[in-house]
Structure 1
């Protein structure tokens, strides 16, 4: 183990099921260490320390679980959060063999400013993480993607463009897979809606001029006269 490896103190946990609420009330988070040919081990850790550590290392950085005189190299998995406080209420700790390569998902961090975007185009992120294979100690916490190289329309960054020490880390994604690109902004079609008639419009159309009223009365009178003629 290197001195730079992140670590956290833990204690053996005997409470399980609904009883773990007692631990959470004391500021502790239940966790489980598991691995190949390793029986699951129930532990508890400081919730405050775990929140801080996990926000920094995520699920792709090696962590030491210190339990008494024992040290377990693990990767965090399956975090569960409190719906209100957002504190971690449980987490799995996958025990790894430091001499065996493993496959893990590593997040991408985008930095810089794209000239293409500054010129009015849009940035389209296709993927924000990649899959890699490496020894646990060589797993990167994150991989930096500098989007300042995106200067023109249709410019893109692919997996092949990532800056990674390929002697230590093997990327499992296809090399031509697009990570991020720029494109023209979408032009929304203008929808012309018919204006609804307002009360004023209705009132205006319902009003008749004296000439129109006189014409209508004359038509009614003519119809009445014709009706009387038919009766005769």
Structure 2
């Protein structure tokens, strides 16, 4: 998995006053836990650009006071109005310790149901999984080609190689629904078929004289 580096400065004070001063200086209060000791540090908000504002998944190398700590982002808080980053939590990685993180889902192929006029619906853009750092995948690749209209692909259908999904097996990742266009097309086809059947019945019906014709004959 790709990794990005975040340069940090150790925080000596973690009070509200100190936190506000950091945010005013466009610095993000952060914490990394999971190791022998919890580390509180701050980092420039712009250093999060390649970690947060991207569809890709990354591990993080946190560099503080000459030490490098491998970690993954566990939680991040944004201001409800300005979207500025308020706080970030990291979890320190260990080679033999499994970690939970979200990984993007990439769809490949063109579903048969889409070719037939259906619409593809993706329920999960990312999937949460658990694995040791060496087995963390960059992405989960899902081939949707076999899916027909009405078909669904579940978490349990995806091969998990070296990791475990943190979702139930029956969670729907992607489905092919009947689109409005296809429904209208199907309805129109049915109407046309009904008309043809009516014409056939009419053509096959015996010629029965009407009441007026019977009176004339008499």
Instruction: State whether TM-score is above 0.5.
Output: yes
Q: 1:7 to 1:149 in 2, by over 3 A?
A: farther
Length, aligned pairs only:
181
Give the match for residue 13 of structure 1. 11
Aligned 1:1-232 pairs, distance under 5 A: 5-15=3-13, 16-35=15-34, 38-56=36-54, 61-150=58-147, 152-162=148-158, 166=161, 168-171=162-165, 173=167, 177-185=171-179
Q: Distance in 2 between matches of 1:158 and 1:26?
A: 46
**Contact 1:78–1:91 (Cα < 8 Å) also in 2:** yes
Q: 1:102 to 1:127 in 2, by over 3 A?
A: same
CA deviations over 1:171-198 (Å, ceiling 9, x no partner)? 45555654212122477xxxxxxxxxxx
SS at match of 2:138: coil
The structure whose Rg is larger is 1
Gaps of 5+ in 2: 184-218
Q: Distance in 2 between matches of 1:125 and 1:5?
A: 27
SS at match of 1:39: coil
Q: 1:85 to 1:113 in 2, by over 3 A?
A: farther
Relative to the length of structure 1, the TM-score reads: 0.63
Runs of 4+ in 1 over 4 A off after TM superposition: 172-177
Gaps of 5+ in 1: 188-232
Relative to the length of structure 2, the TM-score reads: 0.67
Residue 47 of structure 1 and its aligned partner are, at CA, apart by 0.3
Q: Distance in 1 between matches of 2:173 and 2:12?
A: 45
CA deviations over 1:155-176 (Å, ceiling 9, x no partner)? 3323354365x1x334455556
CA deviations over 1:63-117 (Å, ceiling 9, x no partner)? 1111122111111122111234323221001113222223434332335543423
Q: Distance in 2 between matches of 1:11 and 1:20?
A: 13
Q: Distance in 1 between matches of 2:143 and 2:133?
A: 25
Q: 1:104 to 1:48 in 2, by over 3 A?
A: closer
**Contact 1:51–1:88 (Cα < 8 Å) also in 2:** no
